[in-house]
Structure 1
Amino acid sequence: MAEAQRARALDVLRGATLALMIVVNMSISEALSYGPLLHAPWHGLTLTDVVFPTFLFVVGAALSFTLPRYERLGEAALLMKLCRRSALIFLCGYLLSWFPFVRVGPDGGLALLPLAGTRILGVLQRIALAYAIAALLLHYGRARAALIYSGAVLLLCWWVLAQWGDLSLAGNAARKLDLWLLGAAHLYQGEGLAFDPEGLLGTLPAVVHVLAGHAAAGLVQRRGPGYESIAKLLMAGLLAIALALAWHGVLPINKKLWTGSYVLCTVGIDLCLLGLLVWAVDLRGWRRGCAFFEVFGRNTLFIYLLAEVAMSLLWLLPLRGRPLFEQLYAHGFQSWAGDKPGSLLFALCFMLVCWAVAAWMDRRQLYIKL
């Protein structure tokens, strides 16, 4: 696959994933959002539950192009690049969880938010760790190590979940591990108790998405964007989904625990999506609407960070005694469109503002790679 072809197919998938990620993250509340734009309460799968693993999948697909370039620089330079990029992404995620860094004290002055209560893990942190582990596996062990790791880690995590807890929110092994290693104060508190859906145990099978993306993109590179590649991607995807549904009977599909059945199901969906995109964009030359997502796909991590910071500010800044986020929604959308339609339109408009920033950067060829 030529570089231009590769970039177009990958950027469309990556950009569509980012656009959907921004929309679902703009949910004002569960009651005011449509079901597909919410995570499954526990077991199960919604459209939103596919977004994060697809993000990891395209990270792996891009790695199939960048890793050979890094390897040509030599061992020391490769390790330096991998460590620096992973550390930078992890740091950005950590700072995002600590943002806005200060709070208003009792005397009206500003006080630094204590690190003792800062969430350590998160979306960007999982991306950083999964990227680093996958890159090292592929560099030192190639496809064989990736295959062995994928099978072993899915079975190992299944065994850990079965042996060291149950599959409930309060009693699962992943939560127990994070509480032991990190402490309750450093975990996500949005589930009603200390539990991190981006915790340590779930990060290990999340690496499989990166490895799968690398393998899928590598197949298309070797075979070209033809019907053989497309057929293999679709068949592998459908097989993975079938195995996930069979496994679901004993190990439920669960995004927050990142179960093996969830991994297989979402990897299968991503393989099918990539196959369809290769067919439509690279093979058939479909261009309508692609440019919109390509713009998002060229500054993905930066625009994601920008969106998260902007969302945080909208919730933090007060206006007439309520967060600016709620005021904009209530008076700009809910008042004339209704509850759920207004919430969706608000999210779409916010996403389009982020796209406008990405388009401005693209026109000036400003590409910020974390």
Structure 2
Amino acid sequence: MTKERLTSLDVFRGFTILLMTIVNNPGSWDAIYPPLEHAEWHGCTPTDLVFPFFVFIMGTAIPFAMPIKHFDSAVFNKILVRSLRIFCLGLFLSCFSRIHIFGLEGIPLLAIRLVTAFGVAYALLGNFSLKVKTYLAVGIFVALISLAFSGMEHFEDTRIPGVLQRIGIVYFFTSILYLKTNLKTQLIVAGSILVGYWLLMAFVPVPGFGEANFEKGTNLAAWLDNLLLEGHLWASSKTWDPEGILSTLPAIGTGILGMYIGQLLNLQIPKIEIAKKTAITGVALIIAGLIWNIFFPINKSLWTSSYVLYTAGIATVILTLLYYVIDIANYKKWTKFFLIWGVNPMIVFFFSGIIPRVMSSIKVQNPEIPSEEIGVQGLIYNHWIVPCFENPLNSSLAYALLYAIFWSIILWIFYKNKLVFKV
């Protein structure tokens, strides 16, 4: 599998991971500008675009990563191992703060957790032979799942679903679909998934709740999550999960639509004609999503079929604009900043989740109340940033932007030294 890179796609990925870093790391979750928050339930904010953009981009990249359609046991193993590695990165994030050993507390325990995190990152992102990758991925997967279901006090409610877990699952199915079927079949599968999901959610009665519905916690997807993964769901809900089992099906539809756009971008026709095709497709998807929204509301947590079409349409339009500016008009001088983010998404996703957990775990004396301790993150925010702003929304956003600048420096160093970490 030879690999070609499309600059506009890398820039789009960089923009998305940058936006994710900002929205996931406010100074205070109680002070966030509305566009940087998820919709309460139905609806779609800019923040609700981040996750489907990731899935869409992953799908778009598949035809570039696999320009020759060849499927055998070796290729299947590569796909499976990569999916497992992505899944394990996400699952470890759920386990990180639960790691306890020998009754250690404080800095010694934090050191153990960090060493484990770097070890897992090296094992899953390191450049090993396929055989070694397979052993490491399977071993880590079995270890993490065993801990989650071991009944051990600290791991008994470990969350199994998650963002990277869903991305790994979608990658597995979309990659195989791409290699084993033609474009027409792929679109039929995507359409069947989206229609089938709507029929299930809209017409199948929910055991214990009654009629089918799209409400929080009482819909069919929530019931299935609680039935199969009770005790291992999102901590904020406990009885359902925004990355749950049934809603992963339409997420595969998002990946297929991205894969479709990737194949359009690979057509051997003039680039301007490709841009016209993708632009028309993007607008059509947005309109279709808005129409379906009337019957099946746009909703990220349910990953509704209308949400799939609507967000894939927006992603297609944005990618088309970037493709025209960067790959057709050849205006690339401004792209470097986003490229440094776009070529190392997994290392950012993993460690941008680890760092806040570490900063919250390190306790220091509270300058205002010497008898109390405060996490380093709270100290930086409350005593260094908040005093600089009158509006708490601005101070919260400033912290997120400073965190993004911190990561930009790290990624620039990686970029300059040609360090790329991929699963």
Q: For 1:108 and 1:362, locate their aligned partners in 2 and report how far apart those are by CA, in whole Å.
A: 36
Of residues 207-216 and 109-118 in structure 1, the stretch that sits farther from structure 2 once superposed is: 109-118
What is the aligned residue count?
363
Structure 1 contact 59–213 (Cα < 8 Å) conserved: yes
Once residues 348 and 316 of structure 2 are traced to their aligned partners in structure 1, the CA distance between those partners, rounded to angstroms, is: 25
Alignment match, 2:413 = 360
Give deviations 1:329-348, integer Å, cap 9, x for gaps. Answer: 11221111231111111111
Following the alignment from structure 1 to structure 2, what is the Cα–Cα distance between the partners of residues 225 and 301?
33
Query: Is 1:332–2:384 an aligned residue pair?
Result: yes
Question: In the superposition, relative to structure 1, how do residues 194 and 326 fare at CA in structure 2: closer, same or farther (>3 Å)?
Answer: farther
User: Residue 74 of structure 2 aligns to which amino acid in structure 1?
Assistant: A
User: Bigger shift: 319-328 or 30-39?
Assistant: 319-328
Moved more, 216-225 or 353-362: 216-225
The CA deviation at 1:292 is 0.4
Matched, 1:309 2:354: yes
1:219 to 264, 281, 289: 264
- 2:293 corresponds in structure 1 to 248
Tell me the distance in 2 between the aligned counterparts of 1:107 and 1:130.
Answer: 38
Cα distance in 2, alignment partners of residues 16 and 94 from structure 1: 25
The residue aligned with 1:348 is 401
Find the aligned partners of 1:276 and 1:348 in 2 and give their Cα distance: 25
Distance 2:103 2:411 in 1: 40
The 1:127–1:53 alpha-carbon spacing in structure 2 relative to 1, beyond 3 Å, is same
Structure 2 gaps of 5+ residues are 113-151, 207-211, 366-372
Q: In structure 1, what residue type is equivalent to 2:213? A: D
Q: Give the partner amino acid of 2:44.
A: L
**What are the residue-to-residue correspondences of 1:82-231 with 2, within 5 Å?**
82-103=79-100, 114-162=154-202, 163=204, 164=206, 165-183=212-230, 185-191=231-237, 193-223=238-268, 226-231=271-276
Conserved 8 A contact 1:86-1:128? yes
Q: Residue 238 of structure 1 contacts residue 272 of structure 1 at CA under 8 Å; is this kept in 2?
A: yes
Shift of the alpha carbon at 1:21?
A: 0.4
Give identity over the alignment, percent. Answer: 32
Verify the 8 A CA contact 2:28 2:396 in the aligned structure 1. no
Check conservation: 1:239, 1:268, Cα contact below 8 A: yes
Deviations 1:107-131 (A, max 9, x none): 9696976332100010000000000
2:27/2:400 contact within 8 Å kept: no
Contact 1:57 1:270 in 2 (8 A): yes
Give the counterpart letter for 1:326 in structure 2: G
Alignment-mate amino acid for residue 158 of structure 2: T
- Determine which structure has more spread, i.e. the larger CA radius of gyration: 2
Deviation at 1:20, TM superposition (A): 0.2
Letter of the structure 2 residue corresponding to residue 143 of structure 1: L
Evaluate the alpha carbon distance shift between residue 29 and residue 281 of structure 1 in structure 2; reply closer, same or farther with a 3 A threshold. Answer: same
SS of aligned partner of 1:100 = helix
Q: 1:4-61: CA deviations, max 9, x gaps?
A: 7x43111100000000000000134443110000100000010000011111111111
Measured against aligned partners, the alpha-carbon deviations of 1:180-223 in whole angstroms (never above 9, x if no partner) come to 1111x1000224x4321011111111112221222112212214
**Local SS of the residue matching 1:319:** strand
Gaps of at least 5 residues in structure 1 are: none
Q: Does 1:295 align with 2:294?
A: no
Name whichever structure is richer in helix by fraction.
1
Matches within 5 A, 1:73-84: 75-84=72-81
Mapped partners of 1:59, 1:264: distance in 2: 16
Residue range with higher mean Cα deviation, 101-110 or 357-366: 101-110
SS in structure 2 of the partner of residue 186 of structure 1: coil
Cα distance in 2, alignment partners of residues 221 and 108 from structure 1: 54
SS in 2 for 1:53: helix
Give TM-score, length-normalised by structure 2.
0.81
Deviations 1:247-288 (A, max 9, x none): 111111000000001001000001101110110111111224
Distance in 2 between residues matched to 1:204 and 1:12, nearest whole Å: 27
Give the aligned residue type for 2:252: V
Is 1:30–1:38's contact at 8 Å kept on the other side of the alignment? Answer: no
Deviation at 1:67, TM superposition (A): 2.3
Question: Alpha-carbon deviation of 1:106?
Answer: 8.8
Amino acid at match of 2:416: R
| Secondary structure at 2:40 match in 1 | coil
1:232 CA drift (Å): 1.3
What is the CA-CA distance between 1:102 and the residue it aligns to? 2.5
Contact 1:15 1:300 in 2 (8 A): yes
- Tell me whether 1:258 sits opposite 2:311 in the alignment: no
Is contact 1:138-1:145 (8 Å) kept? no
Distance 2:239 2:101 in 1: 25
The alignment's TM-score, normalised by the length of structure 1, stands at 0.92
- Please give the root-mean-square deviation of Cα atoms over the aligned residues, in Å: 2.1
SS at match of 1:68: coil
* Secondary structure in structure 1 of the residue aligned to 2:267: helix
